[in-house]
Amino acid sequence: MTLSGNFETGEEVRMLRRDFLVKTGQLAGTSFCAVEGLSGMAMSHSNSMAKTSAGTIQTVTGAITPEDAGITLPHEHIMSLFGAEITAKPAYNEEQLYKAVLPYLHKLKELGCGTIADCTTAYFGRAPQILKNISEETGLNILTNTGYYAAANDKYVPSHAYKESAEQLAMRWTKEWEDGIEGTGIRPGFIKIGVDSGPLSEIDRKIVRAAALTHRETGLTTASHTGDNLDSVKEQLQILKEEGVHPNAWIWVHANNVKEPEDLLFAAEQGAWVELDGVRSENAEQHLKLVTLLKKNGYVKQVLLSHDGNSFRYGDRPAKAYDWLFEGFIPLLKSAGFSESQIELLTVHNPARALSIMER
């Protein structure tokens, strides 16, 4: 792979392609067609795997079409070891794990869930083979991820990330995309990163840049744990811009934590995805307020909804549910005047577009 490549030519192609995508509504609309015809030209500098995957969604059991994703939860943790020490090889008690998780996921499937993006990153519990077993058992589509989580004061950043360049980290993540993760043959469906609050630290900036470079090679979207930090949003979008990546390839994770709701409009205006991912009964009013604000300003097509739940947590931490969208929030959206098609956009089409593999 060539991360540096012929940048000028690549940049020109990206600009052309972006113009085309904007004109045809690919970046902001709900249609998926016309991507195939472009992929050969626009991804000419990228690897062949990305070309053949353009427009699909990569799950732990293989690629699916966006139309097959169904209702999608873009930010959950089926299991994690968050809170434990950093580890490259998560040691789960699998018997306990399946016993806790499978009945819950069977119920989610019955509620109408089609796809779950698992946001547990490497070094705090990512375990692709377990996700694959669960997917095969439940019939749910599950995505795993590549990337590093540099929030939580960098607790889960491996030591090599400090020594290596953004290009080297991107090569590691791109290799996971090309060859599969840790010998399992299971490929990531998106890039998951995290940054701490305040101005971005050096390691945060490097990880954001590595994500942008990985996107250019793979077409995978980046979901970035950011929270209430507009300055950090601006810095991240600037890094994307420097690397020739459109904000539409970036998800503002935990955007629901903003104290100034108007901040969401800034990111939406740039074209970024705004993820309200703490949906639960206790904060229903706040979520409804934010999604209504985005709707009023014409950005309902860029909103993602999820719970940031966790069905198997470290130690004796209680599970965090991720079914309330179905039983609570969708009915609430209906009673607040959201149309069927707007609800379908929020729960089906938006996450399918956000997670579709496409260089942007």
Contact residues: Zn ion, CB under 5 A: 119, 308
Single out the residue of 358, 357, 328, 333 nearest to residue 344, CA to CA. 333
User: Which residue, 32 or 322, has its beta carbon nearer to Zn ion?
Assistant: 322
**What is the DSSP code string of 161-209?**
HHHS-HHHHHHHHHHHHHH-STTS-PPPSEEEEE--SSSPPHHHHHHHH
User: Which residue, 78 or 300, has its beta carbon nearer to Zn ion?
Assistant: 78
Q: Which residues pair with 73 in a beta bridge?
A: 116
User: Which residue, 172 or 192, has its beta carbon nearer to Zn ion?
Assistant: 192
Distance set, CA 360 to CA 27, 33, 87, 119, 235 (Å): 8, 15, 33, 21, 18
How far is Cα 61 from Cα 216, in angstroms, rounded to an integer?
23
CB of 240 closer than 8 Å to CB of 269: no
**What is the DSSP code string of 56-115?**
-EEETTEEE-GGG--EEEEEEBSS--BTB---SS----HHHHHHHHHHHHHHHHHHTEEE
Task: Quote the least distance from Cβ 119 to Zn ion, whole Å.
Answer: 4
User: Which residue, 105 or 119, has its beta carbon nearer to Zn ion?
Assistant: 119
User: Which residue, 256 or 347, has its beta carbon nearer to Zn ion?
Assistant: 256
How far is Cα 301 from Cα 18, in angstroms, rounded to an integer?
18
User: Which residue, 224 or 248, has its beta carbon nearer to Zn ion?
Assistant: 224
How far is Cα 177 from Cα 218, in angstroms, rounded to an integer?
7
Task: Quote the least distance from Cβ 276 to Zn ion, whole Å.
Answer: 13
For residue 116, give every residue at least 6 positions away whose Cβ sits within 8 Å of its Cβ, in sequence order, or none.
72, 73, 76, 78, 108, 140, 141, 142, 143, 322
User: Which residue, 1 or 152, has its beta carbon nearer to Zn ion?
Assistant: 152
User: Which residue, 32 or 190, has its beta carbon nearer to Zn ion?
Assistant: 190
CB of 252 closer than 8 Å to CB of 294: no
CB of 264 closer than 8 Å to CB of 294: yes
Single out the residue of 127, 138, 140 nearest to residue 186, CA to CA. 127
User: Which residue, 21 or 191, has its beta carbon nearer to Zn ion?
Assistant: 191
Task: Quote the least distance from Cβ 144 to Zn ion, whole Å.
Answer: 13
User: Which residue, 204 or 308, has its beta carbon nearer to Zn ion?
Assistant: 308
Task: Quote the least distance from Cβ 76 to Zn ion, whole Å.
Answer: 8
Q: Taking the alpha carbons of 212, 313, 156, 237 in that order, is the dihedral positive or negative?
A: positive
Task: Quote the least distance from Cβ 67 to Zn ion, whole Å.
Answer: 27
- Dihedral, CA atoms, 177, 96, 319, 85, nearest 10 degrees? -60
Task: Quote the least distance from Cβ 80 to Zn ion, whole Å.
Answer: 8
Task: Quote the least distance from Cβ 310 to Zn ion, whole Å.
Answer: 8
How far is Cα 233 from Cα 302, in angstroms, rounded to an integer?
16
Task: Quote the least distance from Cβ 140 to Zn ion, whole Å.
Answer: 18
